[in-house]
Structure 1
Amino acid sequence: MKSAKFSLGQVVATAGALEAIENASQTPTEFLVQHAAGHWGELCVEDQEANNEALKTGARLLSVYHLADDTKIWIITEAADENGQREATTILLPSEY
């Protein structure tokens, strides 16, 4: 991804999130691109600041988006390991957390 601020690692999604995205006639990629670029979606200022700090420290990253039909999805990228690598990013519904 061109403007990515961090590596997503392996991308996975829950069945519920994939179904919701498909039902809204959207694709996971449009949200993953925003997430990787540091556009955190609908987070409060404190959570946006926490994500921006996590870019420096390697902590977990969270983005929140609403689909076209107003369904909320989360994208979570796991904290970096001791080598600074982020292993996985998960797309899920809040109810699946």
Structure 2
Amino acid sequence: MPLFSCGTVVATPAVMTHFSENKIEFEQYLIRRHLQSDWGDVPPGDAIANDFAVENGLRILSAYVAANRRFWVITEADRSVTTFLFPEEY
């Protein structure tokens, strides 16, 4: 069960290409992890900050690796949009 709303899910063109080429189902698998507070590969302090953010309406950032590429999933504080992007695109 989702712990927060993700709003509109978007991804950068580079992430879309990477996911498509590697047959990665981001909407069905990765967004579910993010919405269920599986923050992926973030430091413990960032995981604690994400838990606080869920409860207090702040920005949430998860980090995952798929097909040997690290990417971020960021949900904005107002929960209007969740973006998939590579760290270098931030």
TM-score by length of 1: 0.87
Q: Report the counterpart of residue 31 of structure 1 in structure 2.
A: 30
- 2:73 aligned counterpart, secondary structure: strand
Cα distance per residue 1:5-64 (max 9 Å; x no partner): 000001111000111112222111211110011100001100000000001111100000
Between the aligned partners of 2:32 and 2:8, the Cα distance in structure 1 is: 14
**Equivalent runs, 1:1-97 vs 2, <5 Å:** 3-29=1-27, 30-67=29-66, 69-80=67-78, 86-97=79-90
Aligned residues: 89
User: % of aligned pairs identical?
Assistant: 35
RMSD: 0.9
Letter in 2 for 1:31: L
Which contiguous aligned blocks of 4+ residues in structure 1 show a shift greater than 3 angstroms? none
Letter in 2 for 1:6: F
Q: What stretches of structure 1 of length at least 5 have no aligned partner?
A: 81-85
Of structures 1 and 2, the larger Rg is shown by 1
**What stretches of structure 2 of length at least 5 have no aligned partner?**
none
TM-score scaled by length of structure 2: 0.94
The one-letter code matched in structure 1 to 2:74 is: I
